[in-house]
Amino acid sequence: MNKGKYVFSQVLDLVSRYEFEKCVKRYFGNYHVRDLDCWNQFVQLFYGQLTSLNSLHDICLVLKAHKGKLYHLGIKQFVAVSTLSRANEKRDWQIFADFGSYLIKTVRPHLC
């Protein structure tokens, strides 16, 4: 039985949601969004990246299998493959590029 936070949730705590939301506001990423906001999209893709999943289908399948643990992982809800695919297609890629640049600037001084 789990006594503390899941490792993914601990790693996600290291990511600045405030800085991410600044990037989202800059490009109006959550404009006219009902279900899958930018943060939830990022968290699901981040989960897929960290767990070495190969496709959107795999991400959605694994998240659906862990439906009862999503809240504890920091994920609002799982979505269908088509919803995640549509969000990737229609959202401005610069949101994630800017946030990636912020993360690189944050980490780079600690690497040298």
- Kindly report, residue by residue over 69-110, the tens digit of the pLDDT: 999 888 988 899 999 999 999 999 999 999 999 999 999 998
Give the tens place of pLDDT for each residue, 26-68: 999 999 988 899 999 999 999 999 999 999 999 999 999 999 9
- Give pLDDT, residue 59: 96
CA angle 7, 10, 14 (to 5 degrees): 140
Query: Taking a C-beta distance cutoff of 8 angstroms, is the pair 47, 60 a contact?
Result: no
Q: Spell out the residues 6+ positions from residue 99 whose beta carbon is closer than 8 angstroms to its own.
A: 19, 20, 23, 42
CB count within 10 Å of CB 49 equals 10
pLDDT for residue 1 is more than 60: no
Higher pLDDT: 2 or 17? It is 17
Q: Which of 106, 102, 48 is closest to 73 using CA atoms?
A: 48
